[in-house]
Structure 1
């Protein structure tokens, strides 16, 4: 009969005493390994090991206190996985060959909510995508140089993004008192302040006060600079002559800011659509400004020469480093386009091709009425 070893290391909890936090017990059963090292750690920037011990006959049990429900990292020998822990009595059965599967965790309400949310996405979002998607990726269409197809695929993708957010928002509302809802909100807000704020406000006050709730709030504060209605930040940029400058006044025009890079194929393809947009509406007060995220000045200048852009082009001196422009705007991928109104304020973000054209027309027509 296998021996179950209990190991308690309350003193390993930094800043947490036996009178604080949440008591828990997590039984671990490894089906194909009898011995080895097991640890349970806090995830994120302040990652640290909370408890550790050794398998005996493939079993171990963590018992003690976690400061709050949330995401923790279980490591067994060389295998590791992040688990949502919020139960008093939990258990997990794993295989060293197959790895640690979160689906096998029992006794955690947060993990059950996670599985329910994933199932909902599979049932709703994936079904809609399967029934409505064209079957081609934007990259595949760009290699064909088929601009009409690219317009169609971009509209399709943005529609799916809106659908995914609406599903995530409903799930956050449904599970507003569970810690997983905060993780879902943080993941699904993407770079949209408005999406994140809407979901954050749906969370219960108790969840907002947890670490993940505070992290989500911090994320919102970072990207609030690019919220709709805010002024576009006054960044220091590099012009083609090598001078460090600030953007000219962005007021008086409907402006499209195009964040791109020389190495980004979709960015170069997007410029063909931007050229048509600029040609059709420049006389009505449309301006386009390109900001390169290239790390290499030489590659940027070469691309500028190849593209012969009819509008002003600058380079972010920080390149593609995740700070400054990338952090403020929440840029996870390029091309990343921003639309500003005549007051130099954010009017729209992450619109492309025909969807971008529709928004520009809307703004220009509103000015002429």
Structure 2
């Protein structure tokens, strides 16, 4: 799962503020010696961190008046000689910090509605990530000791429930905070988590007009327009790509009566867990006209791992990859932001279903073949 908490420092944001009451920061830093420098940074227009000011710590305290901001943005504090940072929103409100030098992640930020909403969301993601990591550890232990299908199915159901609970939280946050640019970040995360185009469009329209003018919102809208090209009912975009031997394979040459385009990677645990099910369905229906095209998002320096996964998981259908990780051009063409991702095509190359797994995938394949 790709979450905002892990990538947020690479995003540039702006939003309009109606009221400007000043922009000042102050706070405490536990156990930090006098004379240490704290740097205030923001993300510039090139998505790079830029130091905008600094302040010395005296008696474990600091305070700094900053110029009023015409637009709010993501900012963060760093301490010289200390790894990590403390994120906050540069809104025109007094902002207070309680910083723990030895555990920056535990630091607290207060002041301003935007910061309150921002940290509510980050705290949600921290809790969700902890639950997901624990579940995946249990799944990995199960995989090494037993391959009991029923037990693995229970783990998959628990993971699905976590994802659904997370999506409910995200939708609620956008609905309740349409004028907060944190909602644009949440919407971006929904896209990364594989939310449908219709869901994303619905919640994009909930945003205030000011929020829709943010660079991130405009980028999101552009992505949604591209995703519309791979909605159910659309003709699947054509592509070619290299197989493990370097031969160029084309979609139109690999299609059957029913075709599954399966986006996966050797490093993707949910993909590897689902592979036995896909193998079973392929072996059952291939002779009746069911074809699969695997498109891998593996890295260039992990080609051997990709080939090993194909062999270990017994993936006997054509495999394609440019080995460019998330920059895989076929994945970008199809708007893939999370894997596993699947597109099911009919005999005319029209997308008839997406992201089906387990029995749902088999039932759809059977239904289409019987038409």
Q: TM-score, normalised by structure 1?
A: 0.75
Show CA shifts across 1:148-184 (max 9, x none): 3333433443344234223311220111111211111
Q: Quick one: structure 1 residues 121 and 293, their matched pair in 2 at CA, closer, same or farther if it must change by over 3 Å? A: closer
- Shift of the 362–41 alpha-carbon distance from structure 1 to 2, 3 Å rule, reads farther
2:257 aligned residue: 253
1:41 alignment partner in structure 2: 41
Alpha-carbon displacement from aligned partner over 1:214-236 (angstroms, at most 9, x marks no partner): 34334434555544333333222
How far the C-alpha of 1:254 sits from its partner, in A, is 2.2
Map of 2:99 onto structure 1: 94
Alpha-carbon shift at residue 38 of structure 1 (Å): 2.6
CA distance change for structure 1 residues 35 and 185 in 2, over 3 Å: closer, same or farther?
same
1:60 maps to what in 2?
63
Q: What are the ranges of 5 or more consecutive residues in structure 1 without an aligned counterpart?
A: 1-15
Q: Which residue of 2 aligns with 1:158?
A: 160
> Is 1:198–2:202 an aligned residue pair?
yes
Distance 1:38 1:225, change over 3 A: farther
Deviation at 1:321, TM superposition (A): 5.0
Task: Give the number of the structure whose alpha-carbon radius of gyration is greater.
Answer: 1
Q: Secondary structure at the match of 1:220?
A: helix
The alpha-carbon distance between structure 1 residues 81 and 322, as it changes in their structure 2 partners (threshold 3 A), is farther
SS at match of 1:66: coil
- Does 1:220 pair with 2:221? no
Distance in 1 separating the partners of 2:269 and 2:98: 45
Q: 1:305-344 counterparts in 2 under 5 A?
A: 309-311=315-317, 313-320=318-325, 322-329=327-334, 331=336, 334-344=339-349
Q: CA deviation at 1:198?
A: 2.5
Query: Is residue 139 from structure 1 mapped to residue 144 from structure 2 by the alignment?
Result: no
Aligned to 1:149: 151
Distance 1:37 1:117, change over 3 A: closer
Matched residue count:
341
CA contact (8 A) 2:96 2:109 kept: yes
Deviations 1:308-339 (A, max 9, x none): 5453x122123435241343445566544332
Superposed CA deviations along residues 103-129 of structure 1, whole A, max 9, x for unmatched, are: x32222012223445677899x89xx8
Q: SS of the residue aligned with 1:168?
A: helix
**Gap regions ≥5 residues in structure 2:** 1-13
Query: Which residue of the other structure, out of 1, 13, 27, is the alignment partner of 2:25?
Result: 27
The 1:46/1:320 distance shift into structure 2, 3 A limit, reads closer
Structure 2 SS opposite 1:30: strand
| TM-score normalised per structure 2 | 0.75
Q: How far did 1:101 drift? A: 4.9
- Work out the CA distance in 2 between the residues paired with 1:40 and 1:162: 37
Q: Where does residue 178 of structure 1 map in the other structure?
A: 180
- Counterparts of residues 230-309 of structure 1 (less than 5 Å): 230-239=234-243, 241-249=245-253, 253-261=257-265, 267-294=271-298, 295=300, 300=306, 304=310, 309=315
1:113 aligns to 2:114 (yes or no)? no
TM-superposed deviation, 1:362: 5.0
Provide closer, same or farther for how the CA distance between residues 238 and 173 of structure 1 changes in structure 2, counting only shifts above 3 A: same
**Change beyond 3 A, Cα 1:115–1:358:** farther
1-structure distance, mates of 2:165, 2:364: 19
